[in-house]
Amino acid sequence: MLVSGTGFCQNKDAYESMRNRMVDDQIAGRGISDQATLQAMRKVPRHLFVPVSYLSEAYSDRPLPIGYNQTISQPCVVAYMTELSKPAKGKIALEIGTGSGYQAAVLAEIVDTVYSIEIVPELAKEAAARLKKLGYQNIITKYGDGYEGWPGHSPFDIIIVTAAADHIPQPLKDQLADGGRLVMPVGNPAAVQELILLTKKKGRITEQRLEPVRFVPLKRLKQ
């Protein structure tokens, strides 16, 4: 009798081949070449970061709703922002806009510690529980307004903002380490923005304008 699907023939991660295809087609295929980024994208189980109703779309080439009018970014946008931030062992990162926790998880596969702030309390709670369940001990999350950064843990080698505003918050520029890189969508939060890369060297900040992107707006708790 032939019994299939057991023992070493069992498919341990039914989503693994979808994930590898996502990386090959949507990410490596579009020019992302940083090995650490590609490896992290092959590892993080994106299907566990989307609502069950979108499970079959988890590896598709688009952003997906995660509730509360927010979205998990398109895989290639996550990969592009990760590569731009030059992640490496030994670095400390700050993310503004935890959302599902996916971008934080991708970074956490590479850097030492990721601090991540989320302004929607329910999303902050859900992401913290998800990341804990998945065993990400090097991600520290909190609920709050990321506009102010996280001064107690600064400076950061990497700052990734995953929500759009018409300017880069000054507190985030201040909390960027020397030699650090900040990536953020800047422009009209209700339309299309430009991905901006800031680098700080000897206290001097240089700005590079990159690709057009579309992100949800950066909100404020109080102004």
Q: Which residues bind ligand SAH (CB under 6 A)?
A: 70-73, 96-97, 99-100, 102-103, 117-120, 123, 145-147, 162-163, 216, 218-220
For the question of residue 33 being annotated catalytic, the response is no
Whether the CB-CB separation of 122 and 67 falls below 8 Å is answered with yes
From the candidates 73, 100, 116, 154, which is the catalytic residue? Answer: 73
DSSP string, 31-57: T---HHHHHHHHHS-GGGSS-GGGGGG
Please report how close the Cβ of residue 148 comes to ligand SAH at its closest, in angstroms: 9
Shortest distance in whole angstroms from residue 109 CB to ligand SAH: 13
Which is closer to ligand SAH, CB of 72 or CB of 139?
Answer: 72
φ, ψ of residue 215 in degrees (nearest 5): -125, 160
> Residue 57 or residue 178: which is nearer to ligand SAH going by CB?
57
Q: How far is CA 77 from the centre of its chain?
A: 9
Q: Which is nearer to ligand SAH, 80 or 147 (CB)?
A: 147
Interatomic CA distance for residues 204 and 214, integer angstroms: 28
CB of 128 to ligand SAH, least distance (A): 13
Paired strand residues for 165: 186
The C-alpha atoms of residue 210 and residue 85 are separated, in whole angstroms, by 13
Phi, psi of 205, deg, nearest 5: -100, 130
Is 91 strand, coil or helix?
Answer: coil
Q: Give the nearer residue to ligand SAH in terms of CB position, either 15 or 143.
A: 143
In the complex, the smallest distance separating the C-beta of residue 16 from ligand SAH, rounded to whole angstroms, is 20
- Strand-pair partners of 98: none
Active site positions, annotated: 73
